């Protein structure tokens, strides 16, 4: 199933690149776009995790306590221990990336390490381990890389409209539909149900559903007060959407409401 989703995602996004090429340069432009899309798909499959980590300036994390948490959770999940990275962002958050459990990484922010309690950090890590165990990371990371590129083209087209005459501007109009279309494709490829599943799986791994609920509540509250600036197409990667809810990022929302996630975790805690 994951393989079919990956092929579908790559195929649809490649088709959008071809449409851009044809709009800008006819058959010659489409041919150039085909070559570019082929190279980008190949590079994205093998290196999309590095691209996403680079977007946030993530560096390897050396923290014995957090490393011990990840090793324990990975052992519990029966997956290889993922690499650890840290992004120097003051807001607490985290994401997992990588094409498979053998090539996975978890990135936490400086805010997560400094502002959350130890049991909450472990619970967040368990959520990300769950994404790796459930093999969500390949499609998510490819979507972030390719969807981000397409949304960037759309924004260029938007700003270019103001500097073109009416006849030339007409050729840029098709590009303006790319961002919402890319967002729709990402939403179709990445089910919101994967977040509920990762919450449940993670809570079972660390046996601390209420700690995860508490972490989600804190991360969400801080994110609303201090939204990030960045590539909106990466919003689905984070445990909580870090971008402003009234921004362009809303198009790419693949997270269920935090209140619903917390409610399900509290219900799970009552059963354990």
**What is the reported pLDDT for 171?**
55
Residue 236, pLDDT score? 80
pLDDT score for 24: 62
3-state secondary structure of 56: coil
Maximum separation of any 2 CA atoms in the chain, in Å: 65
pLDDT at 205: 96
- The tokens for 209 are 């559903």
pLDDT value, residue 132: 95
202 neighbors 127 (Cβ within 8 angstroms)? yes
Q: Is-catalytic flag, 67?
A: no
Going by C-alpha positions, the residue among 218, 239, 230, 234 that lies closest to residue 106 is 239
Cβ count near 257 (within 10 Å): 10
Residue 262, both tokens: 């917390």
CB 154 within 8 A of CB 176: yes
With tokens 């087209």, the residue in question is 157
What is the three-state SS of 178-197? HHHHHHHHHHHHCCCHHHHH
What pLDDT, on a 0 to 100 scale, did the predictor assign at position 8? 67
> For residue 58, what pLDDT is reported?
97
| Residue pLDDT tens, the chain, 272 long | 555 666 666 677 677 767 766 766 678 877 877 777 777 767 777 887 898 899 899 999 999 999 999 999 999 999 999 999 999 999 999 999 998 999 999 999 999 999 999 999 999 999 999 999 998 887 777 766 666 666 666 666 566 555 555 555 555 566 566 656 665 665 555 667 889 999 999 999 999 999 999 999 999 999 999 998 766 667 788 999 898 765 454 555 567 889 999 999 999 999 88
Closest by Cα among 206, 203, 216 to 267: 203
pTM to 2 decimals?
0.77
Q: Length of the chain in residues, anyone?
A: 272
Q: Domain residues for 21?
A: 2-271
Number of separate domains in the chain: 1
What is the H or E stretch that residue 104 is in?
Answer: strand 104-109
3-state secondary structure of 211: helix
**Residue from 120, 122, 128, 195 carrying the catalytic annotation:** 128
Query: By the 8 A CB rule, do 87 and 56 touch?
Result: yes
Question: Which pLDDT belongs to residue 26?
Answer: 74
Give the residue carrying structure tokens 């935090």. 258
DSSP helix/strand/coil, 61: coil
């Amino acid at each position: 199933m994951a393989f079919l989703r990956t092929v579908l995602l790559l195929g649809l996004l490649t088709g959008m690149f071809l449409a851009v090429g044809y709009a800008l340069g006819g058959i010659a432009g489409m041919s150039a776009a085909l070559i570019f899309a082929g190279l980008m798909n190949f590079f994205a499959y093998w290196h999309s995790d590095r691209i996403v980590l680079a977007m946030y300036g993530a560096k390897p994390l050396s923290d014995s306590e957090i490393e011990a948490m990840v090793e324990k959770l990975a052992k519990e999940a029966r997956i290889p221990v993922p690499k650890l990275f840290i992004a120097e962002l003051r807001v607490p958050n985290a994401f997992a990336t990588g094409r498979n459990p053998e090539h996975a990484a978890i990135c936490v922010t400086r805010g997560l390490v400094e502002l959350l309690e130890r049991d909450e950090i472990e619970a967040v890590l368990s959520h990300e381990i769950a994404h790796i165990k459930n093999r969500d990371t390949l499609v998510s990371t490819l979507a972030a890389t390719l969807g981000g590129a397409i949304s960037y083209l759309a924004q260029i087209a938007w700003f270019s409209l103001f500097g073109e005459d009416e006849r030339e501007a007409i050729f840029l109009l098709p590009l303006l539909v790319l961002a919402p279309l890319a967002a729709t494709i990402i939403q179709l490829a990445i089910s919101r149900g994967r977040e509920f599943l990762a919450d449940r799986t993670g809570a079972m791994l660390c046996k601390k559903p209420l700690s995860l609920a508490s972490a989600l509540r804190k991360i969400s509250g801080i994110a609303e007060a201090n939204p990030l600036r960045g590539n909106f197409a990466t919003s689905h990667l984070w445990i909580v959407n870090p971008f402003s809810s009234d921004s362009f990022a809303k198009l790419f929302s693949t997270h269920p409401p935090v209140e619903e996630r917390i409610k399900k975790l509290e219900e799970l805690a009552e059963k354990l």
